């Protein structure tokens, strides 16, 4: 079946609205994607027909909601090809998933003098938690260097790995540059020295199939709202053995087996890491978004987005005084650039007046901007519903920006 973004767009109500009296053109998908009608309907159905706290009630609604919630866990297990559904931990998103590991894993394994390795292209969410953990445990944070084309220096990673390394935490896809990192090779390299690996998959799961068993990663984190699902929900995948060995992160509610004033016994996986009332509706919305991705076809989405990226870059290269950032051969649906003589914020503000939504600034990746000695970039990020016609409108908008600044 052929892929038709024009037909797909009809499933996204927000794409019908206007901004500043212009049709909305939404190119800020790396920040969050818009939501198809099936996801919106699933959220409404839960609150209208199934709303109940789960795992704790004997009544019908509680049983129905519990069954739906745990089926969502199985759907996600199958989607990422985890071995067990209890290796899927529900979180508020990628950031919380990373913080869970940074606290719990490091509490168990990180000692004074140890080291954690990240890369120079990480989102702040995969930098700050490790800085905090290293401060708590008197450990050291090491950084894999980046090349000018926005790719990682793999020899730099090899040089950093040693007997003091306790974890490698690397992004699968750079949110600021679009670079797809060779995470399978990174995982293999780290495992040769018995070092576990966490992958930040927030920017990967909307654009490609992820098989955690094939990757052999120890942890994989992603968010629902980056992949057409609701905000405030995400997933931490972790290998069963390592999750069992980690202490709980938060206390109360679902994470207990029994409680007395003298002792608390913790629950089994996955509940050991899911304290409190869960975000049932948004978990079900995230499951629906994943089913939407599967039905649409991740391979077809990836091929369409590659066409958009290639088309946008070719059009942009015809514009004077533009500098690109992130030119890896393996890249996702992001094009990051600036006019050399125009501040990116000014570019983004003028485009917004024309109904074109792009992201400007450091994209929560300030070290990347420091590396390139720039204040930020204009980031155009694509999703399945974007079209070449929208890129043509963007180019007209950039011509206006260029003309306004002479």
Question: 396 burial class (0-12, 13-18, 19+ CB within 10 angstroms)?
Answer: exposed
CA distances from 329 to 150, 299, 307, 347, 361 (A): 10, 18, 14, 27, 24
Angle between helices 298-316 and 280-296 (to 10 degrees): 80
The token pair at 87 is 């290796």
Give 120's Cβ-side CA count (13 Å radius). Answer: 19
Question: 56 burial class (0-12, 13-18, 19+ CB within 10 angstroms)?
Answer: exposed
Place of tokens 């089926």: 71
Strands (E), 217-352: 219-223, 234-238, 256-259, 264-266, 322-325, 334-339
Strands (E), 154-230: 165-171, 197-200, 219-223
Active site residue 364: yes
CA distances from 302 to 3, 205, 349 (A): 11, 11, 29
The token pair at 378 is 């204009």
The token pair at 301 is 């989405």
Please list the active-site residues.
Answer: 364
């Amino acid at each position: 079946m052929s892929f038709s973004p024009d037909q797909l767009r009809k499933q996204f109500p927000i794409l019908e609205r206007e901004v500043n009296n212009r049709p909305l053109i939404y190119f800020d998908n790396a920040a969050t994607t818009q939501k198809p009608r099936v996801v919106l309907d699933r959220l409404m159905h839960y609150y209208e027909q199934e709303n109940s706290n789960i795992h704790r009630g004997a009544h019908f609604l509680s049983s129905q909601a519990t069954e739906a919630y745990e089926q969502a866990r199985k759907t996600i297990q199958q989607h990422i090809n985890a071995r067990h559904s209890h290796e899927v931990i529900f979180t508020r998103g990628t950031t919380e998933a990373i913080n869970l590991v940074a606290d719990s894993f490091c509490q168990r394994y990180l000692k004074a003098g140890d080291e954690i390795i990240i890369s120079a292209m990480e989102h702040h969410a995969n930098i700050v938690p490790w800085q905090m953990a290293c401060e708590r445990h008197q450990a050291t944070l090491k950084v894999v260097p980046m090349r000018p084309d926005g790719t990682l220096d793999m020899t730099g990673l090899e040089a950093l790995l040693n007997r003091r390394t306790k974890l490698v935490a690397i992004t699968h896809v750079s949110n600021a540059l679009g670079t797809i990192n060779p995470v399978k090779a990174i995982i293999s390299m780290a495992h040769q020295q018995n070092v576990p690996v966490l992958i930040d998959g927030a920017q990967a799961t909307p654009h490609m199939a992820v098989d955690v068993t094939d990757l052999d990663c120890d942890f994989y984190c992603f968010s629902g709202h980056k992949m057409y699902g609701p905000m405030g929900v995400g997933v931490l995948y972790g290998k069963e053995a390592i999750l069992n060995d980690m202490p709980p992160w938060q206390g109360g509610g679902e994470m207990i087996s029994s409680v007395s004033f003298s002792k608390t016994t913790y629950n089994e996986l996955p509940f050991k890491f899911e304290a409190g009332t869960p975000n049932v509706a948004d978990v079900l919305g995230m499951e629906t978004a994943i089913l939407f991705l599967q039905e649409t076809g991740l391979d077809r989405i990836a091929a369409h987005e590659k066409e958009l990226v290639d088309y946008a870059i070719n059009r942009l290269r015809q514009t004077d005084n533009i500098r690109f950032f992130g030119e890896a051969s393996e890249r996702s649906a992001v094009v990051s650039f600036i006019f050399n003589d125009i501040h990116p914020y000014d570019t983004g503000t003028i485009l917004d007046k024309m109904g074109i939504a792009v992201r400007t600034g450091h994209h929560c990746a300030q070290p990347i901007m420091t590396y390139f000695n720039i204040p930020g970039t204009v980031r155009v990020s694509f999703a399945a519903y974007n079209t070449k016609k929208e890129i043509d409108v963007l180019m007209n908008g950039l011509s206006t920006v260029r003309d306004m600044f002479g």
